[in-house]
Structure 1
Amino acid sequence: MAQTKYVITISRQFASMGRSIAQELARQLGVEFYDRDIVEAAASRMGLPVSTISDNEESAGNLYYKRIYPLGTGFKSMQDEIFMVQRNIIRDLAARDSCIIVGRCADAVLSDYDNLLNVHVFAPYEDRFRNCVERLEMDEKTARRMIDKVDRSREAYHKEYGGGDAYVNCHFMVNSSVFGIEGSATLLAGIARQKFHL
């Protein structure tokens, strides 16, 4: 009997360790994990540097990125085009095999997908601040600035392209400060096994 093909999407607050949880979850379930790979694939398809994709992909609400892109693209901005390319890549990955996809409004992009589990990872501010300083080795001023900046960018991006807040399509939310990276991944692996009959 063929195993069910499924996709788990993970949205996350900055420094909630959502990416690390996704990696550990992928290891526990024995499936592929995609995050920066999507940026690299988009850059390759568009013939642009990876840095250009990174700078544009989470800048919704920034008027600078609302400028008109070269005529004839059919998109109102470079950001719109990048989103559409990443959308196609995400759908291609989901069609290929079971996987875990981090960010990039994958929850909304795959809303019509049959076997989907949308997870949102969060943590209290002070725990995320501690992760920035201790795990990501930022100074305190940079840590506070990055939490504010990245959270606002991700929220604006999801409102622009995902139809609302990052948890609007969420099936399950996990506080990573309670369960830790491995514990959160183990908890989610159990939910996935139950939901997808693995």
Structure 2
Amino acid sequence: MKKYVIAIGREYCSGGKEIGKKVAERLGIAYFDKDELRERSREIGIDEGLFEMFDEQPTRSFLFSVVMDPYSIDNAVNSGKVLEAQRRVIENAADEGPCVIVGRRADKILEDVEGIEVIPVFIGADIEDRVERYLKSDASDKPRNARRFVEQRDRERASYYNFLGDGRWGKASNYAMCFSTSKMSEDKICDVICDYVKSL
């Protein structure tokens, strides 16, 4: 298998990003999350604002765009520029070789790309553990109701993933592997993912 992508979907504050980084380090492959993909969009000449219009929360982004500039939604989304920009950035990253991509619906974007083996993984955790992780994070301006905020971020991610898809964000049948960091340590999850990849 020449090229593969470990595409990690995750519930908010479940540890998916941290697991993605560890897996990439162990396998010696590239790692991409929001920040790295933003940088890649600059490198290949895509407007950063265009790439981030969805930002894994399409409802809020769409409303903001319509309020701020009613024509931007027509010009960018209806013509497919937003989706095309995200597809180009993700395919560009994957084309360079094996990598881990966190979020951005990479599994669905790449699933029909010839020559790339997509390994979809989903990371979740109990809501109590995710709220605790969020409260311990360095996020600024934490809301009073942290649980509501965490659950809202999950709804936004599900909305983003399902926007043009099959409505299966977080459903086990949509992934090669699903894990809960409430039930298994991050290191053990990394072991399983790496062993699976090495067996292909």
CA separation of 1:43 and 1:152: change in aligned 2, threshold 3 A: farther
Is 1:58 aligned with 2:63? no
- Counterpart of 2:133? 131
Distance 1:75 1:181 in 2: 37
Answer whether contact 1:39 1:86 (CA < 8 A) is retained: no
Shift of 1:148: 2.0
CA separation of 1:83 and 1:37: change in aligned 2, threshold 3 A: farther
Report SS of the residue matched to 2:6: strand
Shift of 1:145: 3.7
Q: Which piece of structure 1 moves more, 65-74 or 163-172?
A: 65-74
Q: What residue identity is the alignment partner of 2:14?
A: S
Is 1:167 aligned with 2:166? no
CA separation of 1:72 and 1:129: change in aligned 2, threshold 3 A: closer
Deviations 1:112-166 (A, max 9, x none): 1442210000001011111112344675725324302211110100110343232
Report SS of the residue matched to 1:97: coil
The alignment's TM-score, normalised by the length of structure 1, stands at 0.81
Is 1:143 aligned with 2:142? no
Report SS of the residue matched to 1:8: strand
Shift of 1:186: 1.4
Distance 2:39 2:147 in 1: 28
- Counterpart of 1:33? 31
CA separation of 1:129 and 1:91: change in aligned 2, threshold 3 A: same
> What is the aligned length?
189
Structure 2: 5+ residue stretches without partners: none
CA separation of 1:163 and 1:42: change in aligned 2, threshold 3 A: farther
Shift of 1:5: 2.1
CA separation of 1:135 and 1:73: change in aligned 2, threshold 3 A: closer
Answer whether contact 1:26 1:99 (CA < 8 A) is retained: yes
Report SS of the residue matched to 2:101: strand
Distance 1:76 1:182 in 2: 43
Identity in percent: 24
Q: What residue identity is the alignment partner of 1:177?
A: S
- Counterpart of 2:41? 42
